[in-house]
Structure 1
Amino acid sequence: MINSSYDASALRAALGIGMSGIDGLGVGAAWGRVEPGRATTPDRHDETEVFVITAGHGDVVVDGVRHSVAAGTVVGFEPFETHVLENTGDEDLVFATLYWRDAPRAALAAGRTGQRRSGRPQFVFSTPPTPNGDLHLGHLSGPYLGADAYVRFQRMNGREAWHLTGSDDFQSYVLAAAAAEGRTPAETAAHHGAEIVATLKLLDVVPDQFTATNAEPGYRDGLRAFFSRLVASGGITAREAPALFDAASGRYLYEVDVSGGCPACSRGTSGNICEECGEPNSCVDLVDPVATADGTTPRTGTATRYTLPLHHHRADIEEHHGRGRVPARLRDLADRVLGRGERDIAVTHPSAWGVEPAEADARGHVVWVWPEMAYGFLHGIQSLGRRLGRPWRAAAPRDDWRIVHFFGYDNSFYHAVLYPVLYKLAHPGWNADIDYHVNEFYLLEGGKFSTSRRHAVWGKDILNADSVDAVRYFLARTRPEGRRTDFTWERFGSAVQDDLIGTWQRWLGTVGDRLAREFAGTAPDAGVWRPEHSAFLDRLEIRRRALAQALDADGFSLNRAAEELHGLVTDAARFTHAETTAPSGHRHGEARTTMALELAAARLLAHCATPVMPRFAGRLSQALGEEPPTVWPESVELLPPGTRANLSGQVFFTPIGAAAK
């Protein structure tokens, strides 16, 4: 017999609270105490776990959903459910926990974690682009295609998901572009913002909310209120600190105005952030800084700016990273930045372009556009909610919101380190649940995309009705997930000719020709099943599950999704080559089954390609006699017998020379 009683004196610090172990039960066990106003740190593991509440009351938050608990409540957690226990009362909340490993149960739970965590409204953001130019393939391959495919898959599975983005109008880079173009900053932002929307549409990306910050009603007032909340929290204060100034004019320099060596990695960088290593700089710590306008050496002076001491918030950042999907590369960046000692981040800068805070001591300054974006995301949700008739307010973010960010690695510091701190200061009661999907740089013929060197493939130069499916497929197949990848015209042309035309279209045409010749263009019912038939059906089911895993929240990867789509077609083409038989005599039943399975593969391709290549998927479905897919398949299904299908001679893809280049 094991007899264990709660003993407050035996508690030791663990998971943000006090805990003490219980030995000898054959499973993991412990007592825990959550003091009034406190909470456990977010916990997510492969064990099954049970909490037995023995005293006090509070809330347990499971994957962002809040439930009340009190003495006498038993709560069970499946593997991989993120859970937090909060004490909302005025006395200690005491509980016993039991946990154990069950491998089959964990494997089953791993397959549905993305589904379980997606049961709330999802706001999927692609980083608002800077309206100082149009979008090229480097931009399109990352946040915009990723967010679009993610939302399409979520909706096919019956989940509420919206794609939100906008134009980041108040960037300092807009000022530089306006000067070069002879326009006002507002004119430049509006012009390029419209061009960006048009290019996204060419890629079949139409966001549900596009916020042009300079023109958005109520945006300035909402941002000022958000900033005032930060000031009222005491987390940001006006401080005098070293800054860089133009040696001749005395103009304050930051971001686009200055460049030099990164103090962290020594690579060349602009002011405030290093695109190579992702770490912030304060401009004055650049190695051999130069003013970009004329190449002269700036002078060092001082400026009073509102400043955030980021190093005070390590615990907040680590707690936030425990809640959602945060790739290791982002957690490593946070560790590096916080490991360098004191790190003060200026959140206002002297400028005439931007939103001036309401605070009297910030006159002549604007909210720096990167902290501004933290509010911009909340404002986008509010604007979307107003159109949908939903009660979402930027000033009152809710725990049931699930935010999903798609962005490039050069934006990682802001999204995954700075914004969680700002949200904690402005809305201390909000447990922001945010997933992060990050891409690296997409190279062009081995070098970075560059407007100034005319080293770019612009979206409008390659996208049209004939090429959009091929472009989306190739970008999905090669986009830089976890590593830098390279676009070359040769590889793109080969993918179109060899994969899409030489494999996909050729196989569909072969099936269509046989269907017309041997079954009068009508889907047959399956007849005699041989072992090879059932093996192919199983193979299709494996592909279906793999595609669902590649497109769902936790395992999202367009690289793998595109590879699986191509794998599905190559499997089917191999099956066609091996199993085609004369549809006469005693083998007629086998031939019917072969054709039924080939059409099932084509139908599955249409459904599973919808998030990645929606236009192709719709055309293929129509060729199969069905409407464009709107629901993700729960299994592989045969095309209903008697369905009229017309795959023969269909042109789904055209060579690159005719379509885009």
Structure 2
Amino acid sequence: MIISTYDPAALRAALGIEMSGIEGAGVGAGWGRVAPGRTSDPDRHDETEVFVITAGRGHVVADGRRQEVGAGSMIVFEPFERHVIENPGEDDLVFLTLYWRDAESAARAAARTDRLAGRPQFVFSTPPTPNGDLHLGHLAGPYLGADAYVRFQRLTGAEAWHLTGSDDFQSYVQAAAERDGREPAETAAHYSAEIAATLKLLDVEPDQYTVTNAEDDYPEGLREFFSRLVASGGITAKQAPALFDASGRYLYEVDVTGVCPTCSSGTSGNICEECGEPNSVVDLTDPVATTDGSTPATGTVTRYTLPLHEHRADIEAHHSLGRVPARLRELAHRVLRRPSHDVSLTHPSTWGVRPPQSDVPGQVIWVWPEMAHGFLHGIQSLGRRLNRPWRAGEPQDDWKIVHFFGYDNSFYHSVLYPALYKLAHPGWKADIDYHVNEFYLLEGSKFSTSRRHAIWGKDILTEESVDAVRYFLARTRPEGRRTDFRSASFTELVDTDLIGTWQTWLNQVGERLDKEFDGTAPDAGTWRPEHSAFLNRLESRRRALTGAYGADGFSLNQAAEELHGLIQDAVRFSRLEGATSHLDRWSGEARTTMALELAAARLLAQCAAPVMPRFARGLSAALGDPEPAQWPRTVRLLDPGTLVELSGKVFFTPVDPRGAEAA
């Protein structure tokens, strides 16, 4: 017999609170105390864990869901369920913890798709700069990713919305307007409309598309957000060096180029696309003013400034809450190891929203910190339309925010914004997942509008080509490494895979069904070991696709490979089992073979829906099914007698990657 009694003297600091261990219990065990006003660090592990509250009152928060607990409460946390325990009261909260490993429970928990059920998910694709239209390099990254993510989440029954818009107040918009002889507002409005039209061609229709220069309440909300930052004392007006061209024009972002002080790559002002690190403009090597080609002069200017180095602990705590890829955590480590790093939040400019403070006359709120508020504003605008009580000035802990963006925006999203949110909304625990993509190349080189090295969305997207484009982008998008759009590879994939393999197999199934079963799905007959093995193989593909689309392991590269793998499995099965399909002696087995091939086609339609929605609808209709509305929980045969129309069905046609549909 082992008796353990709570002993405050035995407690030691652990996980942000105080803990002590219990030996000999047969499972992991210990006592914990949460002092008044304290909260434990977020914890997520593979063990099942039980808390038994023995004294005091407080809250447990598991995956964003808050529940009040008190003496006598028992809480069971499943594997991988992120949890904290809070004590907002005046007395100690004491609990006993027991935890143990169970491999089967951990495997089941890892495969769950409902972890975010009951929480609103706001999925943002980074707002594009309206200084030009979208090309395939843009579309392959945040926009296709966010769209497929939301489609899958909705199939699982989750509440998820895709939000984006046009980032009107970028300095790049002002530069494009000066180049074209327009006003910035005119340029922004023109390209914002073009961007929305291109997204629609890709079958991406966001639930909220915010045009920042066109919404009447946007400037007021932004100024309120900025005033919160000032009132926090975390940002101050500070004089510091700056660069100016020969005419005395202040230089930042697009107005200046030079050599990155970190990685020695060529870069524009304020951020390096190669290494992802910010620069202060004055630290560029060999700077050149793009406004007049001069070597900039150094002067001083007073700007509102954030001492980012003071927020390392807050940023690292934020990174423990959600899905933060190692690439981003490593970037944060590089930036935050600097002894000091001040980020200017305002800049002298005539284009943008002016702060309400008078300390920085002639300046605007820099568009990148502006975007931190812009996301919250988008949620508020969506809520207004849906009649939901979401307010930009009152973000809630149960909000799950998901960001899709390119690596060149990583510093702003995953380092700067958490610090700003902590200052503006100190009581909010911003629970954010990050999905980052690298550069997508074209024929081995970066997309470039100036060199006319680009394939624009409008050049390739048609009703006939859109699913082929979406599938190719999903299969080749730059997840974790730079990848390449090559015209020959795209043409080969459409001709060989989508037409030559997918469509050919589906047509052959239809032809055999018409010939052998009068075009209706047969009831399965005799099952052989090969049949049950194929059913198990289909179920393995379903599980793999569930993981590839899921919030934790989202990867369209993997999803596209699994979809093609499903087809390859079906083609191989059909070839091997078709040898006896015409023999009366094995007619029962032939019925089972056909029933399983139709089940594979149904699974393909259901699992392709997030990436290829038109193909999924068309294939489902050909199988006598409605449009996929739920994610399959298992592989199911078609009902016997269902009329199937696959013979001669055209799902894909040859496409010219440079534009017109091929003859």
| TM-score, scaled relative to structure 1 | 0.98
Alignment of 1:103-122 (within 5 A): 103-112=103-112, 114-122=113-121
Q: Which residue of 2 aligns with 1:586?
A: 585
**For the residues of structure 2 that align with 1:264 and 1:660, how far apart are their CA atoms?**
46
Alignment of 1:29-40 (within 5 A): 29-40=29-40
Q: Which residue of 2 aligns with 1:494?
A: 492
Q: Which residue of 2 aligns with 1:79?
A: 79
Q: Structure 1 residue 660: deviation in Å?
A: 4.3
Query: What's the C-alpha RMSD, in Å, of the aligned pairs?
Result: 1.3
User: Amino acid of the residue matched to residue 618 of structure 1?
Assistant: R
**For the residues of structure 2 that align with 1:305 and 1:10, how far apart are their CA atoms?**
51
Alignment of 1:198-237 (within 5 A): 198-237=197-236
Alignment of 1:182-193 (within 5 A): 182-193=181-192
Q: Determine if contact 2:523/2:591 at 8 Å carries over to the other structure.
A: yes
Q: Structure 1 residue 30: deviation in Å?
A: 2.7
Q: Which residue of 2 aligns with 1:305?
A: 303
**For the residues of structure 1 that align with 2:32 and 2:216, how far apart are their CA atoms?**
49
Q: Structure 1 residue 348: deviation in Å?
A: 0.9
Q: Which residue of 1 aligns with 2:507?
A: 509
Deviations 1:258-300 (A, max 9, x none): 1111111111111111111111111111111111123321111
User: Amino acid of the residue matched to residue 180 of structure 2?
Assistant: E
Q: Determine if contact 2:524/2:588 at 8 Å carries over to the other structure.
A: yes
User: Amino acid of the residue matched to residue 36 of structure 1?
Assistant: P
Q: Structure 1 residue 162: deviation in Å?
A: 0.5
**For the residues of structure 2 that align with 1:425 and 1:239, how far apart are their CA atoms?**
18
Alignment of 1:597-612 (within 5 A): 597-612=596-611
Which stretches in structure 1 are left out of the alignment for 5+ residues?
A: none
Q: Structure 1 residue 659: deviation in Å?
A: 5.5
**For the residues of structure 2 that align with 1:86 and 1:308, how far apart are their CA atoms?**
30
User: What is the DSSP-based 3-state SS (H/G/I as helix, E as strand, rest coil) of the residue aligned with 1:277?
Assistant: coil
Q: Which residue of 2 aligns with 1:176?
A: 175
**For the residues of structure 1 that align with 2:291 and 2:476, how far apart are their CA atoms?**
36
Q: Which residue of 1 aligns with 2:530?
A: 532
**For the residues of structure 1 that align with 2:295 and 2:2, how far apart are their CA atoms?**
74
User: Amino acid of the residue matched to residue 565 of structure 1?
Assistant: L
Deviations 1:306-356 (A, max 9, x none): 111111111111111111111110111111110122111111111111111
**For the residues of structure 2 that align with 1:349 and 1:386, how far apart are their CA atoms?**
32
Q: Which residue of 2 aligns with 1:422?
A: 420
Deviations 1:356-401 (A, max 9, x none): 1111213311111011111011110110011111111111111111
User: Amino acid of the residue matched to residue 197 of structure 1?
Assistant: A
Deviations 1:570-614 (A, max 9, x none): 111111111113345232211111111111111111111000000
Q: Which residue of 2 aligns with 1:350?
A: 348
Q: Which residue of 1 aligns with 2:289?
A: 291
**For the residues of structure 2 that align with 1:294 and 1:145, how far apart are their CA atoms?**
38
1:197 aligns with 2:196: yes
Q: Which residue of 2 aligns with 1:93?
A: 93
User: What is the DSSP-based 3-state SS (H/G/I as helix, E as strand, rest coil) of the residue aligned with 1:176?
Assistant: helix
**For the residues of structure 1 that align with 2:395 and 2:235, how far apart are their CA atoms?**
21
Q: Determine if contact 1:461/1:660 at 8 Å carries over to the other structure.
A: no
Q: Structure 1 residue 527: deviation in Å?
A: 1.3
Q: Determine if contact 2:16/2:41 at 8 Å carries over to the other structure.
A: yes
| TM-score, scaled relative to structure 2 | 0.97
467, 472, 477: which one pairs with 2:475?
477
**For the residues of structure 1 that align with 2:408 and 2:538, how far apart are their CA atoms?**
39
Q: Structure 1 residue 37: deviation in Å?
A: 1.8
**For the residues of structure 1 that align with 2:573 and 2:415, how far apart are their CA atoms?**
50
Deviations 1:50-103 (A, max 9, x none): 222222221111000001112222222111111111111022222232222222
Q: Determine if contact 1:523/1:642 at 8 Å carries over to the other structure.
A: yes
Q: Determine if contact 1:583/1:592 at 8 Å carries over to the other structure.
A: no
**For the residues of structure 1 that align with 2:117 and 2:437, how far apart are their CA atoms?**
22
**For the residues of structure 1 that align with 2:591 and 2:236, how far apart are their CA atoms?**
75
Task: Judge which range, 448-457 or 622-631, deviates more.
Answer: 622-631
**For the residues of structure 2 that align with 1:636 and 1:563, how far apart are their CA atoms?**
19
Deviations 1:114-146 (A, max 9, x none): 421343111100000000000000100000000
User: What is the DSSP-based 3-state SS (H/G/I as helix, E as strand, rest coil) of the residue aligned with 1:116?
Assistant: coil
**For the residues of structure 1 that align with 2:376 and 2:416, how far apart are their CA atoms?**
15
Identical counterparts, % of pairs: 75
Deviations 1:608-630 (A, max 9, x none): 10000001111111111222211
Q: Structure 1 residue 106: deviation in Å?
A: 1.3
Q: Determine if contact 1:327/1:437 at 8 Å carries over to the other structure.
A: yes
Q: Which residue of 2 aligns with 1:629?
A: 628
User: Amino acid of the residue matched to residue 68 of structure 2?
Assistant: S
Q: Determine if contact 1:466/1:659 at 8 Å carries over to the other structure.
A: no
User: What is the DSSP-based 3-state SS (H/G/I as helix, E as strand, rest coil) of the residue aligned with 1:437?
Assistant: strand
User: Amino acid of the residue matched to residue 18 of structure 1?
Assistant: E
**For the residues of structure 1 that align with 2:434 and 2:202, how far apart are their CA atoms?**
23
Q: Which residue of 2 aligns with 1:576?
A: 574
User: Amino acid of the residue matched to residue 648 of structure 2?
Assistant: G
Q: Which residue of 2 aligns with 1:243?
A: 242
**For the residues of structure 2 that align with 1:262 and 1:55, how far apart are their CA atoms?**
56
Task: Judge which range, 617-626 or 439-448, deviates more.
Answer: 617-626
Q: Determine if contact 2:117/2:157 at 8 Å carries over to the other structure.
A: no
User: Amino acid of the residue matched to residue 619 of structure 1?
Assistant: G
Q: Which residue of 1 aligns with 2:331?
A: 333
Q: Determine if contact 2:12/2:20 at 8 Å carries over to the other structure.
A: yes
Deviations 1:417-460 (A, max 9, x none): 11111111111111111111111100111111111111111101
